[in-house]
Amino acid sequence: MTPSADLSILHLVSQASIPVQAVMALLVLMSLWSWWLIFYKGGLIKQAKRRIRAFDDAFWGGADLTSLYNRVREGDKGGKGELGGAQAEVFAAGFREFVKQKKQANATKEAIVDGTRRALKVAVEREMDALEHRLPGLATVASVAPYIGLLGTVWGIMNSFRGLASVGQATLAQVAPGIAEALIATAIGLFAAIPAVVAYNRYQAELDRINTQLDTFAEEFLNILQRQA
């Protein structure tokens, strides 16, 4: 077998010790899971932003609040309505509480506004929690994968030097394969961690913007309802 074949990645992986191979397999699974999360969360956030824009157009287009609320509810019943998403749910929760408070006989304007404000706040937190679901998984892969790869590297180098202990005179040809197969674990760990940390930072920034949008809408909507209280 030629030296180039001996040092090929597939050959080094197949000749690695069982613990190092287990580390590599774990890292590959983590990488596949993180890529699934990247595409899943990317699509979810893109859809959320598109629905927010669609609801903004409908809300600020002068639509009647009651008819807009009915359209949002019809969309929920059908599963995929023309109006939906996080901002539509915040609107529905606030408007529903506003109507409920107004129907009470002795409700004051302050009580109506306070009840609506609480409902809007809870709705914003609930929608953000749904959007952030599973996002910490990317942070876990980004922070843990390099250390798992380093563990495989350390274990592989230890085995390499233990094998050289019985050799009278070690040469580079004897040391290189063991060190190379150990370093593959670190490379796989970085391959899993780098996309995860990039995607996590990007998605977290986009979710922060969505959170700001929802908070701003809640305040503006509350001002509208306050004038009608």
* Residues contacting residue 90 through CB under 8 Å, at least 6 positions apart: 120, 123, 124, 127, 214, 217, 218, 221
Confidence category of residue 77, pLDDT binned at 50, 70, 90: low
Cα–Cα distance, 179 to 189 (Å, whole number): 16
The residues spanned by each domain of the chain are 3-228
Q: What is the pLDDT of residues 1-42, one digit of tens each?
A: 444 445 577 777 777 778 888 998 999 999 999 999 999 999
Q: What is the pLDDT of residues 129-168, one digit of tens each?
A: 999 999 999 999 999 999 999 998 998 888 777 767 666 6
What is the pTM (predicted TM-score) of this model? 0.83
User: Which residue in 110, 121, 118 sits closest to 226, CA to CA?
Assistant: 110
Cα–Cα distance, 226 to 90 (Å, whole number): 16
Would the pLDDT of 112 be above 50? yes
Cα–Cα distance, 31 to 52 (Å, whole number): 31
The number of beta carbons lying within 10 Å of the beta carbon of residue 17 is 17
Residue with tokens 């230890």: 158
Would the pLDDT of 203 be above 70? yes
Would the pLDDT of 125 be above 90? yes
- φ/ψ of residue 216, rounded to 5: -65, -45
User: Which residue in 4, 42, 25 sits closest to 199, CA to CA?
Assistant: 42
Tell me what pLDDT residue 1 has: 41
